[in-house]
């Protein structure tokens, strides 16, 4: 049965009525009307829905909305904006990374978390951290350039 | 994004104002530049392609759609060049059926080649007209005027000047162009003005014009197809059969009665449902009890796929290309070399299952699509619902990637069927298994190559036959209901288009025979293995065979693979790309596999080349093969690319990088798996694509710019030789000739055993 659930998203608290097992992704998109995390697979296999939960990259498509009490959720539009982009966003823009860009939540949010923990990752560490994310357009070379650029920023 | 459904509102902010104007020096009659005038788009009107805002900035209008490669930047650079405006002051409106004429959508790498030519001519004519208007206004003869960033001034008196904005800003041109009477890709318009000479270019051919969609994508603010929200919109899901070919015979609606607001829609073989909340629609689609017809599972065992193709009776044979006396050459050959190559089905496997939104109320239709061809979408909706095209508006949105005819055209038709049935706007997006499982597939094919070699080691005959599923069951995409799953399930008669196509190269062998034939689909209707065009339709498959075989011939004639190609290639531009890539890679001539080993790792390089249309590409791949695991890493690539005139070299490089990586993924990893009931590779685990851990370390590109030639397309040509370059590199590393894609560790280990 639907219940009241409180969510803290990009620094703002929201209360929604939802089935507790509903994935966070649908709360963000459908209940809160957000558009940055996107449905890609619903299986935690691609990363298009990635958000940060307490700073950890998390696949919102498989995270029950009921599991987020007291946690902070940050989305792609919550880490920076046109006036003050996050350094990872600035690097992705500088390197003109995306083709369709549908996958970007995964690459950007995972890179943000990587650089928090390891500000100067090696090429191999970058590849390892980003492994499993999907990009069908094949922009991998641009992604690697951008993450290296962000690490040097 | 919330949409308000005023058909004209979309124009606000696009610079079209309601003003009447007399255009001195052009025509005496008034061009009434109402917003509505864009609704009656005329292909011969300059205003259809170019308009000038009050601030003097320009808008280009094009009936094609950029798929994320920056084609729009190419167009606006071409327009800016001809108008003598800075590219920052030009923007593009793409694909909307109310705002642009049918230029075929994203199709066949013709964006810059075809639509660019039309826009270039239109912009040149616009400049001519504007300078004439300025001449009249300033009382200065045309030949004494010059244009700098949209300001026309007297060369002898700079104080005498007038801007484009002052001349026509916010009003429409009333200028007729010569139109070639074609719509679609072939549409061309020509004005009295001649476009500039390349020697005068300021922006065309130069890097640095930034894409407009990048920052909104990276900042998470862009409206994608999936973000379209129409007031009152319901969420729809379509239920596909568990056995391909089955149709619903009974639906137990009580099975979903505890989910709020669910409404089931059933029309012939089509079954779907809607609910106010997306999660509820998803749950309902999973819970709905459907009894399906008992059909015989339609597909062969996957292991028998290539035997099926070999043995199937062809339904179509393309026109054969014959040069010289092939049969005589084979009869008198000292040696005959033969090989067969095989390529499985590939999935478009876009980043998300397609999404479409349709509002079919009030005898009108508004469709939002992430597909490539909005005008074809309109045709399909018009036929399905018997609506005049002027009552239908199709809005092009950014989808989850598109590389041909993917599932987008199915999603829009599904949404339209549901919306029409429930009388409300409906948004449809499938689940992952529906995207992978039911998107149209790149066809599986086999390629038989044969060559005659004379006693001196010269190749005297070249015979190549491709046989497989049609590369386009979907001519004009979703432009007719039977080209959508919904239409097929609703019993629209099928009209398949058979097409395979020959290879494209300029090997100047004494005789040649190129042939290709199509076989019937495994299931004729609503098939998860129906085939469509997928980025460079059949190019990678056909040229995997051709260019692998050229390496086999090089070996058979004791020739270095680069030398072999240079010996037989005829066209100077083909020779140029092969030479350029060999030079870039510092190619070391050799005969036979080099098998360079460092511990467990074998290293090799391979070359391949091909032509697509008039674009020619040569690729050298460098691979590492682990002899214990059998795993291949395509570590480096070198590319030489000639697409005629280069418009935006920086964007072109990234476009080529994307093609290299995407095709490396297909060559090394991708194979649609199926059982006799349907597709079983239905997610990223069962249909793996190239991981970033395996991304190339470097892709080094040589762009051969030919400013004097037209730009002829760059969105697909690099897909074509890449798989063969990898296969040839694997042979060089290991001595193993892989003749079936993908080049998996299992196949390599089997070869090394």
Tell me whether A104 touches chain B (CB under 8 Å): yes
Q: Give the separation between CA B23 and CA B169, rounded to whole angstroms.
A: 12
How far is the alpha carbon of A63 from chain B, nearest alpha carbon, in Å? 14
A142 CB neighbours in chain B (<8 A) are 654, 657
Interface of A with B in 14-43 (CB under 8 A): 18-19, 22-23, 26, 29-30, 33, 35-36, 38-43
DSSP B130-175: HHHHHHHHHT--GGGEEEETTEEEETTEEEEEEEHHHHHTTS----
Q: Distances in Å between the alpha carbon of B615 and those of B185, B202, B239?
A: 17, 24, 43
Q: How far apart are CA B501 and CA B319, in angstroms?
A: 9
How confident is the model at residue B473, as a pLDDT? 67
Of A103, A108, A131, Cβ closest to residue B691: A131
Q: Among A100, A125, A132, which would you mutate to test the B interface (most chain B Cβ atoms within 10 Å of its Cβ)?
A: A100
Average pLDDT for residues A83-93, to the nearest whole number? Answer: 98
pLDDT given for residue B81 in this prediction: 98
Give the integer Cα–Cα distance in Å for B545 and B566: 19
ipTM of this complex > 0.95?
Answer: yes
Q: B residues 335-394 near A, CB within 8 Å?
A: 349-352
Residue B267 makes CB contacts below 8 A (sequence gap 6+) with B417, B421, B490
B633 dihedral zone (left: phi>0; alpha: psi -120 to 50; beta)? beta
Instruction: With beta carbons less than 8 A apart as the criterion, state whether B590 and B560 touch.
Output: yes
Q: Tell me the residues of chain A between 130 and 149 that have a Cβ less than 8 Å away from chain B.
A: 130-144
Residue B238 in tokens? 């379509």
Q: Do B661 and A144 touch (CB under 8 A)?
A: no
- What kind and span of H or E run contains B291? strand B289-292
**Nearest Cβ partner for B692 among A98, A100, A143:** A143
Q: Identify the residue among B219, B226, B406, B536 best suited for mutation to test binding to A, counting A beta carbons within 10 A and taking the highest.
A: B219
Asked if B277 reaches chain A (Cβ–Cβ under 8 Å), the answer is: yes
Mean pLDDT by 10 residues, chain B (753 residues): 43 34 31 43 95 96 97 98 98 95 95 98 98 98 98 97 96 95 97 98 97 98 97 97 96 97 97 97 98 97 97 95 97 98 98 98 97 97 97 97 96 98 98 98 97 98 97 81 96 90 96 97 94 95 98 98 98 98 98 96 98 98 97 98 98 98 98 98 98 98 98 97 98 98 97 85
Please give the pLDDT value at position A1: 82
Q: Which residue in the set A81, A99, A127 is minimally distant from B219, CB to CB?
A: A81
Predicted local confidence at residue B12, as pLDDT: 33
What per-residue confidence (pLDDT) applies to B607?
98
Mutate to test the interface with A, among B430, B692, B694 (most CBs of A within 10 A): B692
Nearest CB neighbour to B398, from listed A22, A100, A139: A100
**Cross-chain residue pair A82–B219, CB shorter than 8 Å:** yes
**DSSP-assigned letter for residue A31:** I
Residues of B in contact with A128 (CB under 8 A): 693
**Residue-level pLDDT at B387:** 98
Inter-chain CB proximity B221 and A77 less than 8 Å: yes
Residues of B in contact with A45 (CB under 8 A): 432, 683-685
**A1 C-beta neighbours (distance < 10 Å), count:** 4
pLDDT for the residue numbered B496: 86
B residues 621..680 contacting A (CB < 8 A): 650-651, 654, 657-662, 664-665
- Answer whether B215 sits within 8 Å of A133, measured CB to CB: no
% residues pLDDT > 70 (chain A): 100
By C-alpha distance, the chain B residue nearest A24 is B279
pLDDT at B648: 98
Of B220, B278, B692, the CB nearest to A26: B278
pLDDT the model gives residue B40: 64
Query: In DSSP terms, which residues pair with B602 in a beta bridge?
Result: B597, B625
Q: Which of B401, B469, B476, B410 is nearest to B438 (CA)?
A: B410
CB B324 within 8 A of CB B513: no
CB within 8 Å: A134 and B657: no
Which among B704, B465, B725 has a CA at the least distance from the CA of B571? B704
B42 CB near a chain A CB, below 8 Å?
Answer: no
- Interchain contact, A46 vs B684, CB within 8 Å: yes
- Distance to chain A for B69, nearest Cα, Å: 6
């Amino acid at each position: 049965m639907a219940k009241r659930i409180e969510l803290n998203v990009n620094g703002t608290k929201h209360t929604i009525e939802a089935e507790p097992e509903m994935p966070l992704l649908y709360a963000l998109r459908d209940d809160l009307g957000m558009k940055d995390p996107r449905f890609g697979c619903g299986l935690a296999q691609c990363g298009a829905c990635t958000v940060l939960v307490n700073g950890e990259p998390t696949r919102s498509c498989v995270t029950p909305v009921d599991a987020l009490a007291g946690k902070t959720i940050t989305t792609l539009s919550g880490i920076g904006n046109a006036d003050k982009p996050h350094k990872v966003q600035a690097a992705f823009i500088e390197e003109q990374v995306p083709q369709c860009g549908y996958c970007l939540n995964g690459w950007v949010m995972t890179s943000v978390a990587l650089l928090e923990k390891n500000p100067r990752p090696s090429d191999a560490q970058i590849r390892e951290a980003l492994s499993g994310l999907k990009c069908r357009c094949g922009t991998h070379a641009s992604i690697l350039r951008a993450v290296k650029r962000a690490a040097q920023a | 994004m919330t949409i308000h459904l005023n058909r004209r509102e979309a124009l606000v902010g696009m610079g079209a104002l309601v003003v009447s104007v007399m255009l001195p020096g052009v025509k005496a009659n008034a061009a009434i530049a109402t917003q509505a005038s864009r609704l009656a788009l005329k292909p011969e009107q300059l205003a259809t392609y170019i308009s000038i805002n009050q601030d003097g900035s320009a808008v280009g209008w094009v009936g094609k759609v950029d798929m994320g490669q920056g084609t729009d930047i190419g167009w606006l650079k071409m327009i800016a060049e001809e108008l003598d405006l800075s590219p920052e002051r030009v923007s593009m409106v793409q694909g909307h059926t109310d705002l642009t004429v049918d230029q075929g959508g994203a199709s066949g790498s013709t964006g810059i080649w075809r639509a660019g030519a039309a826009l270039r001519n239109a912009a040149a004519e616009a400049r001519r007209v504007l300078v004439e208007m300025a001449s009249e206004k300033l009382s200065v003869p045309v030949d004494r005027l010059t244009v700098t960033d949209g300001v026309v001034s007297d060369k002898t008196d700079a104080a005498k000047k007038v801007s484009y904005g002052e001349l026509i800003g916010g009003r429409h041109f009333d200028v007729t162009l010569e139109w070639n009477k074609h719509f679609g890709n072939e549409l061309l318009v020509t004005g009295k003005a001649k476009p500039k000479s390349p020697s005068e270019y300021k922006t065309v051919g130069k890097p640095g014009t930034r894409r407009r969609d990048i920052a909104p994508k990276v900042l998470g603010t862009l409206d994608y197809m999936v973000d379209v929200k129409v007031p009152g919109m319901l969420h729809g899901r379509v239920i596909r059969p568990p056995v391909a070919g089955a149709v619903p015979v009974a639906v137990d609606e009580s099975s979903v009665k505890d989910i709020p607001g669910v409404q089931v829609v059933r029309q012939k073989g089509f079954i779907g449902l809607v609910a106010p909340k997306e999660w509820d629609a998803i749950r309902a689609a999973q819970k709905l009890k459907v009894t399906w017809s008992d059909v015989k599972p339609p597909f062969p065992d996957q292991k028998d796929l290539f035997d099926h193709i070999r043995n199937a009776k062809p339904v179509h044979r393309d026109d054969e290309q014959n040069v010289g006396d092939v049969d005589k050459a084979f009869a008198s050959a000292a040696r005959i070399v033969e090989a067969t190559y095989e390529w499985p089905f590939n999935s478009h496997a876009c980043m998300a299952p397609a999404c479409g939104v349709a509002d079919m109320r009030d005898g009108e239709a508004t469709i939002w699509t992430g597909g490539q061809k909005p005008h074809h979408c309109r045709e399909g909706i018009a036929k399905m619902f018997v609506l005049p095209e002027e009552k239908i508006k199709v809005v092009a949105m950014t989808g989850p990637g598109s590389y041909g005819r993917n599932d987008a055209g199915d999603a829009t038709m599904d949404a339209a069927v549901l919306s029409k049935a429930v009388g409300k706007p409906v948004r449809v997006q499938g689940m992952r298994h529906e995207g992978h499982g039911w998107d149209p597939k790149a066809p599986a094919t086999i390629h038989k190559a044969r060559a005659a070699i004379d006693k001196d080691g010269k190749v005297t005959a070249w015979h190549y036959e491709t046989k497989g599923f049609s590369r386009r069951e979907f001519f004009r995409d979703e432009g007719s209901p039977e080209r959508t799953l919904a239409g097929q399930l609703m019993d629209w008669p099928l009209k398949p288009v058979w097409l395979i196509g020959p290879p494209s190269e300029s090997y100047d062998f004494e005789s040649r025979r190129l042939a290709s034939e199509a076989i019937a689909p495994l299931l004729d209707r609503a098939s998860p293995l129906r085939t469509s065009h997928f980025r460079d339709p059949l190019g990678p498959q056909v040229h995997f065979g051709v260019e692998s075989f050229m390496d086999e011939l090089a070996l058979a004639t004791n020739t270095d693979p680069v030398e072999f190609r240079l010996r037989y290639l005829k066209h100077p531009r083909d020779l140029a790309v092969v030479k350029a890539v060999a030079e870039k890679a510092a190619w070391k001539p050799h005969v036979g596999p080099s098998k360079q080993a460092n511990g467990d790792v074998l290293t090799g390089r391979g070359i391949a080349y091909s032509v697509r249309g008039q674009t020619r590409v040569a690729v050298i791949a460098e691979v590492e093969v682990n002899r214990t695991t059998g795993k291949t890493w395509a570590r480096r690539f070198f590319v030489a690319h000639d697409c005629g005139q280069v418009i935006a070299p920086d964007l072109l490089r990234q476009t080529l990088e994307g093609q290299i990586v995407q095709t490396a993924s297909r060559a090394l990893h991708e194979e649609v798996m199926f059982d006799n009931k349907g597709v079983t590779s239905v997610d990223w685990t069962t249909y793996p694509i190239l991981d970033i851990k395996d991304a190339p370390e470097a892709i080094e590109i040589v762009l051969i710019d030919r400013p004097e030639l037209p730009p002829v397309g760059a969105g697909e040509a690099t897909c074509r030789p890449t798989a063969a370059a990898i296969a040839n590199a694997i042979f060089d590393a290991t001595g193993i000739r892989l003749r079936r894609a993908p080049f998996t560790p299992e196949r390599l280990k089997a070869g090394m055993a």
